[in-house]
Structure 1
Amino acid sequence: MSIADPVAVREHLLAAAAAGHPLTYSELLARLGHPFTRPRMRALCKTLAAVDDAAQADGEPELAVLVVRQSDGLPGQGWWTGSWEKHRFTGDWTGPDARLLIDRLQRQAFRYWQERAPG
């Protein structure tokens, strides 16, 4: 699957949201059939932004927040710089304040998609 395919990326994010767990960049790339490299991760981040733009247009919670670094379970720099205007977060991109914001946004996505999951 193509890293640049927002439909494919969204499907994986919806499955993660319905299951109630985030994905690391490596996990998402592997599910798309690609090994982790920094250039692939950067390409994926562009697609994640497109997925979130579409979600926002449809009144849905953001999904890119579900993609996190393996090291600390937080989104990478691209997410923080791309979403600053929306969240007005001015703290460090690591640490307890960042964790509080990410946990809140992830819970919103989990709750929203778990309520809509077939079953």
Structure 2
Amino acid sequence: MSLGDWRGVRAHLVAAAAAGHPLTYSQLLEHLGYGFSRPKMRALCKTLGTVDEDAAANGEPELAVLVVRQSDGLPGQGWWVAGGGSAHGYDGPWEGPEATRFIDRLQRKAFDYWAMANSERNR
């Protein structure tokens, strides 16, 4: 699968959301058939923007917030710079307990939405 295949990336993120857990950059790259490298991570980040544009157009919660650093469980700088926090009125720090609480709330929205969508599909 190409790193630019936003539909494939989306499918992995929807599955993670429905299962109720985030993915690290390394895990997502591995699921897509790649080893971790900075250039691959940057390419993935561009694709995540497209995934979130599609989600917004469909009235769904964002999914890029589910892709996190292994070190602290928070999205990387690219997510924040692209307006991830400011899109939700958040102007706090990008690391630490306040950021963790903020990200947990956003991830919970995705988890709840996709768990519900999954259960409705399985009825």
The reply to whether residue 106 of structure 1 matches residue 107 of structure 2 is yes
**Alpha-carbon distance in structure 2 between the residues aligned to 1:84 and 1:28:** 22
* Residue 100 (structure 1) shift: 1.0
- Deviation string 1:39-76 (CA, Å, 9 cap, x unpaired) is 00000000000000110011000000000000000000
Query: Helix, strand or coil for the counterpart of 1:71?
Result: coil
Q: What is the TM-score with the length of structure 1 in the denominator?
A: 0.96
Aligned length: 119
Q: Which runs of 5+ in 1 are unaligned?
A: none
Question: Structure 1: which amino acid aligns with 2:34?
Answer: H
Q: What is the TM-score with the length of structure 2 in the denominator?
A: 0.93
The reply to whether residue 34 of structure 1 matches residue 56 of structure 2 is no
Query: Helix, strand or coil for the counterpart of 2:18?
Result: helix
Question: Structure 2: which amino acid aligns with 1:30?
Answer: E
Instruction: Give matches, 1:11-90, under 5 Å.
Output: 11-82=11-82, 83-90=84-91
* Residue 87 (structure 1) shift: 1.9
Between the aligned residues of both structures, percent identity stands at 64
* Residue 89 (structure 1) shift: 2.1
* Residue 16 (structure 1) shift: 0.0
After superposing on structure 2, the runs of 4+ consecutive aligned residues of structure 1 that deviate more than 6 Å are none
Partner of 1:92: 93
**Alpha-carbon distance in structure 2 between the residues aligned to 1:78 and 1:113:** 24
**Alpha-carbon distance in structure 2 between the residues aligned to 1:88 and 1:96:** 17
Comparing 74-83 with 86-95, greater Cα deviation is found at 86-95
Q: Root-mean-square deviation (CA), in Å?
A: 0.9
Partner of 1:115: 116
* Residue 97 (structure 1) shift: 1.0
Question: Structure 2: which amino acid aligns with 1:101?
Answer: F
Q: Which runs of 5+ in 2 are unaligned?
A: none
